[in-house]
């Protein structure tokens, strides 16, 4: 790992390093607490460095390429004065960790929980999350995934517009705040993942081009020129990105990263950026003595993402499974088929359970071409599935969560469909109790032209989803838009919210204790539909002796189902229509013990599970 940025060496001495291969000179400009200006020395690889005395943690500094203008450090650990201000020296060794008993968790045990730091609590800080960790742990959640916390412009943002990949956002609590949160999570048995963006940088505070050719017009992304991984002067860019995961693992004890939209990263080199990154992560694992994970978001529908790098793959531990969300959603909300036109039959939902990708080479109307390849045989623990995430709510005109779009009975059905699936499940913050506050897209850029560009961009996007002429949507720049997204935690102990919380807690406990639900071998899974109204998923153990029948009725009518006759007796394990799970409707629970070959009536919008005796 290249020690770029400011490395505090103790005794009020700090070494500064920055990559700028085409620059002739580089000056370090310390501006606080005492001004210093020092010329930096350049090595053969284009790195400038200097060791400065009387520079302690908390000192503020800039770099000046070719003597022209002060810019913050591209590898800044902290930007206390936002993206345009000076960088600050951080002593990562100063924090006293208390997680020595934390050795991580196997990936297959994770129950993920995606959250946005700014809207999770009224305070919107890392430390404000800590008092809620017991609630999450009691629900069964053991891995939180923080939406990007890198330094972005202003105080309100989803984080995907960050411009400092090594800096922790100042308004969330900075480096110390993040370390306190991770430390507290580990003491509660909760892993911490960071969502991070390596495919582009935001529009404000992006000074990388002032130092080196970090971007290339060889490839174009939705956000402009791509990061330069294989063009001229790409070596330093590759180091900058491939060192970044290790930085988080080492200095913040992070357990894993979720990488945003990796399909918009391009590298045709003999050793691509993924192979390089995997090599460094493997070394970090050996040094730390615990597993460190990389999860990808990828739009390609390709098993190559999770295939070992030695076999030509990209080496990720898992990837998000958007197809599962899309096909499940269209059976929960009648408007779903308008939103996802290529998802329309129950056989596709069965395929999502059995194989993973729904689109595996078929013609896709949305793309006007064939898309994807088969993921049959890829173990279920190589996919992360969900019913809701930041994109699904935030890219709606009204920011509606699933709880606002469908009935309470279908919410329970959706939760069962996810948590009884052969995939690693992820909940979006508040989903565990059916939170119904909106989750909008929000920003707090400084440049009025950037603010207007975002506003107009959202308007164009929403025009495709029913935004009528003259109609408007919540302004992303308005602080009230942000404040409306904050969770209402008091709800989780009240009425229907408490019932939903107990339902999801029960499902997680069943998933954690049932042998069949812990089996990610999809060769041991059967899935088939009942007249486009219901889905039957049969799970079994590796020995083929124990079975679990998960029945999902997505229709508004009862449907008949004959329990398999290869087992003499079946016992009901879970039923969403029992009294304890009902709000307004009368219970319609099924019989507890049923003989093999007997017909049962699956109740409307219900989920029921039978296990073999």
In the predicted structure, residue 470 carries a pLDDT above the cut 70: no
Which member of 82, 145, 230, 260 is catalytic?
260
In the predicted structure, residue 228 carries a pLDDT above the cut 90: yes
Structure tokens at 302: 């390709």
User: Which CATH number, 3.40.50.300, 3.30.1390.20, 2.60.40.10, 2.60.40.650, labels domain 5-88?
Assistant: 2.60.40.10
The pLDDT assigned to 335 comes to 87
Under the banding of pLDDT at 50, 70 and 90, the label for residue 554 is very high
**Is 260 among the catalytic positions?**
yes
Q: What percent of the chain has pLDDT over 90?
A: 92
Under the banding of pLDDT at 50, 70 and 90, the label for residue 460 is confident
Mean pLDDT over 444-473 rounds to: 83
**Is 264 among the catalytic positions?**
no
- β partners of residue 49: 17, 41
* Contact between residue 147 and residue 390 where contact means Cβ atoms under 8 Å apart: yes
Q: Which residues are annotated as a binding site?
A: 258-263, 322-326, 390-395
Distance CA(381)–CA(518), nearest Å, equals: 10
Which member of 183, 231, 243, 297 is catalytic?
297
Distance CA(43)–CA(31), nearest Å, equals: 25
What confidence tens digit (pLDDT) does each residue in 261-284 have? 999 999 999 999 999 999 999 999
The pLDDT assigned to 99 comes to 96
In the predicted structure, residue 2 carries a pLDDT above the cut 90: no
* Contact between residue 329 and residue 322 where contact means Cβ atoms under 8 Å apart: no
Nearest to 379 by CA among 306, 296, 488, 277: 306
Nearest to 99 by CA among 174, 192, 182: 182
In the predicted structure, residue 538 carries a pLDDT above the cut 90: yes
Mean pLDDT over 44-62 rounds to: 97
Phi then psi dihedrals of residue 173, to 5 deg: 125, 0
In the predicted structure, residue 565 carries a pLDDT above the cut 80: yes
Distance CA(606)–CA(613), nearest Å, equals: 23
The pLDDT assigned to 586 comes to 84
Mean pLDDT over 18-45 rounds to: 97
In the predicted structure, residue 550 carries a pLDDT above the cut 70: yes
The pLDDT assigned to 163 comes to 96
The pLDDT assigned to 466 comes to 67
In the predicted structure, residue 585 carries a pLDDT above the cut 90: no
Distance CA(411)–CA(420), nearest Å, equals: 14
Token pair 């100063």 is found at 94
Distance CA(415)–CA(426), nearest Å, equals: 10
Q: Phi-psi bin for 319: left (phi > 0), alpha (psi -120 to 50), beta?
A: beta
Mean pLDDT over 129-149 rounds to: 98
The pLDDT assigned to 467 comes to 66
* Contact between residue 120 and residue 137 where contact means Cβ atoms under 8 Å apart: no
Mean pLDDT over 474-479 rounds to: 94
Half-sphere exposure of 497 (CA within 13 A, CB side): 16
The pLDDT assigned to 84 comes to 97
In the predicted structure, residue 102 carries a pLDDT above the cut 90: yes
Distance CA(66)–CA(393), nearest Å, equals: 46
In the predicted structure, residue 240 carries a pLDDT above the cut 80: yes
Mean pLDDT over 501-529 rounds to: 96
Q: Which CATH class is domain 111-196+239-445+463-502?
A: alpha beta
In the predicted structure, residue 198 carries a pLDDT above the cut 90: yes
In the predicted structure, residue 247 carries a pLDDT above the cut 90: yes
Phi then psi dihedrals of residue 413, to 5 deg: -60, -45
The pLDDT assigned to 469 comes to 63
Look at 20-34, 257-271, 465-479 and tell me which has the smallest mean pLDDT: 465-479
Strand order in the sheet with 60-65: 36-39, 26-32, 60-65, 87-88
In the predicted structure, residue 126 carries a pLDDT above the cut 90: yes
Under the banding of pLDDT at 50, 70 and 90, the label for residue 471 is low
**Portions of the chain given CATH number 3.20.20.80:** 111-196+239-445+463-502
Sign of CA dihedral 465, 471, 476, 479: negative
Q: Where are the alpha helices (DSSP H) in 490-558?
A: 495-513
Q: Which residues are annotated as a binding site for substrate?
A: 258-263, 322-326, 390-395
Average per-residue pLDDT for the chain:
95
Q: Where are the alpha helices (DSSP H) in 226-272?
A: 235-242, 244-252
Torsion of CA 253, 256, 262, 265, to 10 degrees: 30
Under the banding of pLDDT at 50, 70 and 90, the label for residue 590 is confident
What confidence tens digit (pLDDT) does each residue in 309-368 have? 888 899 999 999 999 999 999 999 988 888 899 999 999 999 999 999 999 999 999 999
**For the whole model, what pTM was predicted?**
0.97
Mean pLDDT over 29-47 rounds to: 97
**Portions of the chain given CATH number 2.60.40.10:** 5-88
* Inter-CA distances, 231 with 96, 217, 219, 302, 491, Å: 42, 9, 10, 25, 53
345: DSSP letter = -
The domain covering 524-612 belongs, at the CATH homologous superfamily level, to Golgi alpha-mannosidase II (2.60.40.1180)
């Amino acid at each position: 790992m290249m020690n770029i940025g400011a490395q505090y060496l103790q005794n009020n001495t700090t070494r500064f390093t920055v990559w700028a291969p085409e620059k002739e000179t580089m000056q370090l400009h310390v501006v606080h607490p005492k001004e210093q200006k020092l010329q930096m020395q350049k090595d053969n690889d284009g790195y400038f460095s200097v060791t400065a005395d009387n520079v302690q943690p908390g000192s503020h500094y800039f770099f000046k390429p070719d003597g022209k203008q002060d810019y913050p450090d591209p590898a800044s650990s902290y930007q206390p004065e936002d993206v345009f201000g000076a960088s600050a020296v951080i002593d990562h060794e100063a924090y006293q960790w208390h997680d020595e008993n934390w050795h991580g968790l196997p990936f297959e045990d994770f129950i993920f929980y995606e959250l946005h730091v700014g809207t999770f609590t009224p305070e919107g800080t890392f430390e404000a999350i800590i008092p809620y960790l017991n609630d999450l742990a009691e629900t069964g959640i053991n891995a939180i995934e923080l939406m990007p916390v890198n330094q972005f412009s202003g105080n309100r943002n989803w984080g995907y517009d960050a411009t400092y990949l090594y800096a922790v956002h100042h308004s969330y609590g900075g480096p110390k705040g993040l370390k306190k949160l991770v430390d507290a999570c580990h003491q509660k048995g909760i892993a911490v993942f960071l969502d991070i963006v390596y495919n582009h940088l935001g529009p404000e505070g992006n000074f990388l081009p002032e130092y080196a050719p970090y971007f290339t017009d060889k490839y174009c992304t939705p956000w402009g020129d791509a990061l330069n991984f294989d063009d001229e002067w790409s070596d330093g860019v590759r180091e900058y990105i491939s060192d970044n995961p290790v930085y988080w693992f080492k200095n913040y004890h992070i357990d894993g990263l979720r990488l945003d939209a990796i399909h918009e990263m391009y590298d045709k080199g003999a050793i691509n950026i993924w192979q390089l990154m995997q090599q460094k992560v493997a070394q970090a694992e050996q040094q730390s003595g615990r597993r460190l994970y990389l999860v990808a978001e990828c739009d390609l529908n390709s098993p190559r993402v999770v295939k070992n790098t030695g076999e030509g793959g990209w080496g990720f531990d898992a990837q998000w499974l958007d197809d599962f969300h899309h096909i499940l959603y269209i059976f929960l909300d009648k408007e779903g088929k308008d939103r996802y036109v290529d998802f329309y039959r129950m056989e596709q939902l069965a395929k999502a359970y059995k194989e993973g990708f729904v689109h595996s080479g078929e013609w896709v109307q949305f793309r006007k071409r064939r898309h994807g390849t088969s993921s049959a045989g890829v173990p279920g623990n190589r996919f992360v599935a969900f019913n809701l995430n930041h994109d699904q709510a935030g890219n709606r005109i009204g920011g509606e969560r699933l709880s606002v779009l469908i009935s309470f009975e279908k919410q329970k059905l959706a939760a069962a469909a996810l948590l009884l699936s052969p995939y690693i499940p992820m909940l979006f913050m508040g989903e565990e109790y059916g939170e119904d506050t909106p989750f909008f897209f929000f920003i707090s850029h400084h440049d009025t032209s950037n603010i207007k560009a975002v506003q107009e961009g959202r308007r164009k996007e929403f025009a495709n989803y029913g935004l009528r002429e003259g109609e408007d949507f919540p302004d992303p720049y308005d602080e009230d838009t942000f404040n409306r997204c904050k969770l209402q935690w008091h709800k989780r102990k009240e009425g229907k919210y408490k019932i939903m919380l107990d339902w999801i807690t029960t499902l997680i406990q069943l998933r954690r204790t049932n042998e069949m639900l812990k089996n990610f071998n999809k060769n041991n899974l059967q899935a088939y539909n009942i007249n486009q109204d219901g889905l039957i998923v049969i799970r079994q153990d590796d020995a083929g002796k124990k079975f679990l029948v998960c029945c999902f009725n997505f229709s508004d009518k009862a449907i008949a189902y004959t329990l398999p006759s290869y087992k003499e007796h079946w016992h009901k394990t879970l039923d969403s229509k029992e009294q304890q799970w009902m709000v307004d409707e009368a219970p319609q629970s099924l019989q507890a013990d049923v003989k093999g070959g007997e017909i049962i009536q699956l109740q409307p919008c219900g989920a029921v599970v039978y296990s073999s005796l």
